[in-house]
Amino acid sequence: MRIPPILRSPLLSAAGVITPHALTAQMFLGFGGLEARAGIADPKNGGHSATFEADLGYAGIPALRTTLGIDFFGSELDRVISGQQVGGTMKGAGGVAGLRYDIFPQRRLTLHVVSGVTVHSIRAEPDDPTVKDSLGGGHVGLQFGAGVSWRIGAGHYWSATADVRRVTERDAERTLVAFGLRYSLRGRRMYDRDDVPAVTPTPSSYGPSR
């Protein structure tokens, strides 16, 4: 169908503005892969931790990944709370929303730094009942850390990971040391900005002008 000349110019202008933004949106907040980690909940007190995390695409630049995950942990208690030495046990489950910045992302051995917000429901069994309410219940905090990834295969679809993260929840601070496996849906191409190329419409796309 031929577009009348009086409408052709406005339509081309609109397509030139809308199309690149639509294509860019496909690369942001889209499923990028999964990661599973397991390790120690606190090097000082022992325990265990497990995390399952989804890569939701990049924020601004491909090396800055947005992540959302759930995690579980359990450890012994050996800390000072309200001036008292407290022992016992605690267990928790919750979620983590964060950012991961991959340094030298297309090399086989890469570094990364992470930060985020954590929300956990914690069940505690302290040997001092007076601090049970302080330890148990809902906790909101921050998480930050750093680690390494080793890319497996030429396409870099799989990576072995290791990192250390500090969680700063009130009265439940802990340091996580974990090892994991990451799957990236696009492999090393996930760090290419032009993975989905922008298309600039031309007048010839709509037939010859007369």
Domains and CATH numbers, the chain: 31-190 (2.40.160.20)
Rg, the chain, Cα only: 24
pLDDT on residue 45: 81
Confidence of residue 52 (pLDDT cuts 50, 70, 90): very high
pLDDT over 60 (residue 12):
no
CB-CB contact of 56 with 29 (8 Å): yes
Confidence of residue 11 (pLDDT cuts 50, 70, 90): very low
pLDDT digits (tens, 9 = 90+) for 155-208: 999 999 999 999 999 888 899 999 999 999 999 888 887 544 444 455 554 555
Q: Rounded mean pLDDT of 136-160?
A: 95
CB-CB contact of 88 with 125 (8 Å): yes
Give the residue carrying structure tokens 């605690």: 90
CA-nearest of 165, 183, 178 to 37 is: 178
pLDDT over 70 (residue 1):
no
Q: Which of 26-40, 62-76, 165-179, 190-204 has the lowest mean pLDDT?
A: 190-204
Q: Rounded mean pLDDT of 41-48?
A: 88
Distance CA 106, CA 187 (A): 9
pLDDT on residue 24: 41
Provide φ and ψ at 65, rounded to 5°: -95, 140
Helix (H/G/I), strand (E/B), else coil: 191: helix
Give the residue carrying structure tokens 């009265």: 171
